[in-house]
A and B are shown apart, each in its own frame.
Chain A
């Protein structure tokens, strides 16, 4: 059975910072290279998680 991870706002923000740091910390560069489809699998996975966390945190 899949496990649901329940996050607080603080936990989501903390995780977002961790993910961004794992790919070098430059989100503009990451998104710019994503727009040109130049991301590695690990970078694409990180960007996917950043977008996911942004959605969860959105109001």
Chain B
């Protein structure tokens, strides 16, 4: 298989996974994700995005309420073995088509530039815009039902604080250092001179600890990754392979 063929195969696999994920929630009528590849020797780029370009309509009780777009820009990882996401953006808009300003977006940039964190959430929606969407919440989930019930009874006005945005689960959640960093970078909070290094040190400690926890969650993947780096991994005599913690890997 040539590098170009491998690139196309990986792009197709990634687009198929994204398609399956969205169809599992929204339905089989959703268009497949589209992928484009531009192959040049030593410089392969792939893009994957939802179809149609105007976004995937999300309905409540059959009526369009929101719209989802998801775009991924990918390159070969350093050893040239699999696609690595260089940039991604998942955005949610109010309305049947993606237009104007999103309500919120999850974005990632591998090569972080300046003071913007590589992975971040940005809330765009004016409080009224989000409240409007929330007044039309569907009752197909416990929290949606709770919200719709309160709105129907007129017992509460929806608040932005009613929304809980996922941030990586138990293992990949942000740490205190991330929050303090955000307050200094984004809002110019007063800070000591060595704040940047102190927060980076703390973040490193946190992530090294979480790496160990993640290895316990998925020891087989850890062994494969270490073997690819040249390590020889063997279970000690008499030990059985740990099963990992699949539930932890699957939780929100």
Please give the residue numbers on chain A whose beta carbons come within 8 Å of chain B beta carbons, in ascending order.
Answer: 1-9, 12, 37-42, 44-46, 48-49, 52, 55-59
**Minimum distance in angstroms from A53 CB to a CB of chain B:** 8
Which of A2, A12, A57, A59 is close to B35, meaning CB atoms less than 8 Å apart?
A2
Q: A7-B38, A9-B40, A57-B38 are in contact. Are A52 and B71 (CB under 8 A)?
A: yes
Q: Which residue of A lies closest to B20 (CB)?
A: A2
Which of A9, A38, A45, A52 is close to B36, meaning CB atoms less than 8 Å apart?
A52
Which of B36, B43, B73, B101 is close to A4, meaning CB atoms less than 8 Å apart?
B36
Q: Which 4 A-B pairs have the closest CB atoms?
A: A37-B101, A45-B53, A41-B97, A2-B15
Please give the residue numbers on chain B whose beta carbons come within 8 Å of chain A beta carbons, in ascending order.
Answer: 4, 8, 11-12, 15-16, 19, 32-40, 43, 45-47, 49, 52-55, 69, 71, 73, 86-87, 97-101, 124
Q: How distant is the Cα of A37 from the Cα of B98 in the complex, in angstroms?
A: 11
Q: A4-B12, A41-B55, A41-B99 are in contact. Are A48 and B69 (CB under 8 A)?
A: yes
Which of A39, A44, A52 is close to B47, meaning CB atoms less than 8 Å apart?
A52
**Minimum distance in angstroms from B128 CB to a CB of chain A:** 15
Q: Judging by beta carbons under 8 Å apart, are A2 and B100 in contact?
A: no
Q: Which residues of B contact A5 (CB under 8 A)?
A: 34-37
Q: Which residue of B lies closest to A43 (CB)?
A: B99
Q: Which residues of B contact A58 (CB under 8 A)?
A: 45
Which of A2, A7, A40, A56 is close to B32, meaning CB atoms less than 8 Å apart?
A2
